[in-house]
């Protein structure tokens, strides 16, 4: 397991990954704004995924409609908490720095939309089932959380096994 022991290395990985996610998110949203008509579904991957422009002032599944300010505040808290974790940790596996950066980048991508227009641009619509329309930032947040959780469980088990092995060596 590659550990990011240096604070500067952890912060650089976190910031670089977050920045790449924000750029990908904002670039795709700009394309959606430019080329998609509101409500019109355009096949992207036939039978699987359509492109359909919408602006969501709520959160997932359009819950909390009109509470964009609250979701902006939550995004800020999440990004600050992740940044502090990168800064405070003595060492972290590199993959947890990456996954944290993915989550932060997604949160910042949607935060930019909320601050600029009061709602989030969504444009990926599943063609095979009725599911909320989403965007690159949403994918980043979801994938980052799932991989981060799995990564943390693996890292925690490795640390416990290492601690057990150290105790056996001392005995």
Please pick, among 25, 113, 130, 138, the residue that the annotation labels catalytic.
138
Please pick, among 122, 142, 156, 169, the residue that the annotation labels catalytic.
122
CA distances from 67 to 34, 53, 62, 72, 110 (A): 26, 20, 10, 9, 14
Alpha-carbon distance 37 to 58, whole Å?
A: 20
Around Cβ 123, how many Cβ atoms within 10 Å?
Answer: 23
Active site annotation includes 138: yes
Which DSSP state fits 59? S
CA distances from 164 to 38, 152, 159 (A): 58, 18, 9
Per the DSSP assignment, residues forming a β-bridge with 60 are none
Alpha-carbon distance 165 to 65, whole Å?
A: 52
- The residues assigned a catalytic role are 122, 138
């Amino acid at each position: 397991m590659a550990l990011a022991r240096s604070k500067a290395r952890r912060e650089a990985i976190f910031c670089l990954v977050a920045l790449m996610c924000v750029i990908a998110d904002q670039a795709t949203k700009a394309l959606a704004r430019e080329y998609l008509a509101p409500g019109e579904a355009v096949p992207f991957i036939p039978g699987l995924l359509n492109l359909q422009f919408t602006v969501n002032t709520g959160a997932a599944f359009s819950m909390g409609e009109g509470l964009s300010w609250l979701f902006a505040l939550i995004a800020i808290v999440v990004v600050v908490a992740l940044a502090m974790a990168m800064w405070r940790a003595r060492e972290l596996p590199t993959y947890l720095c990456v996954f944290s950066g993915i989550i932060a980048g997604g949160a910042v991508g949607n935060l930019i939309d909320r601050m600029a227009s009061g709602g989030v641009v969504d444009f990926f619509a599943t063609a095979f089932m009725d599911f909320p329309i989403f965007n690159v930032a949403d994918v980043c947040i979801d994938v980052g959380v799932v991989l981060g959780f799995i990564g943390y469980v693996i890292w925690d088990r490795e640390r416990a096994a290492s601690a057990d092995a150290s105790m056996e060596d001392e005995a």
